[in-house]
Amino acid sequence: MERLQKVIANSGYCSRRKAEELINDRKVKVNGKFAVIGMQVSDKDEIEVEGNTIAKEDKVYFLLNKPRGVVTTAKDDKNRTTVVDLINTSKRIYPVGRLDYDTTGLLILTNDGELANLLTHPKSEIEKVYVAKVKGIVSYENIKKLSSGVYIDGIKTAKAKAKIIRFDKDKKTTIVELTIHEGKNHQVKKMFESLGYEVLKLKRERESFLDLQGLNVGEYRNLTPKEVKKLYGELNSKQN
């Protein structure tokens, strides 16, 4: 027996948090009756979500080097290219977390709702490494401020790691590597903006131990079973 929201998430239909919302909205039925949060189900139970009968599905895990001009969602009402469109699979997958339309780099897509929930949970504090091209010459004083935390939307960010990769004095730009473990909306851009710098380009280079090695822009690969197991081990250790 397992909790209903976990079974829905593991089916690949949606994340566990979304499953809980759907249950509360009376959009989930078990054996023809409306479900409640926390109820236990077995393989013999018939589960309907928004009128769709769900079944257990093999888990798939993809690591994508996201290009610019692609939206991080499973569907787009403006008919723009989504990150899911770039993956050749028959499974119902969705992106874990979000990269802006004009941001490139590492993005995980899966149908494993449990892993997605752990990766995005605040307790996990997964390190994410970004490389930003910034308008202006960033001072070392401001690098220290980024590292110790800055205020965005009235809240101070957690301590980070920041270092200057190089300057271009002629074009008056700076390349900065910033490592954070939070996931606030537009966080990296807002951190620089709080110090008066505009981000011209932004790329996520790494998430946890995963990087983009061997992947050109727009390319993707499957995560190995060893990588998935390592991710779960790291994430579960931080939940306790």
The one catalytic residue in 45, 58, 85, 100 is 100
d(CA 82, CA 69): 9
List, as one string, the DSSP characters of 44-77: TS-EEETTEEP------EEEEEEPTT-BSSS--T
Q: Give yes or no: 58 in active site.
A: no
DSSP E strand stretches across 1-41 = 2-3, 28-30, 33-34, 40-41
List, as one string, the DSSP characters of 154-215: TEEPPP-EEEEEEEETTTTEEEEEEEE----TTHHHHHHHTTT-EEEEEEEEEETTEE-TT-
Active site residues: 100
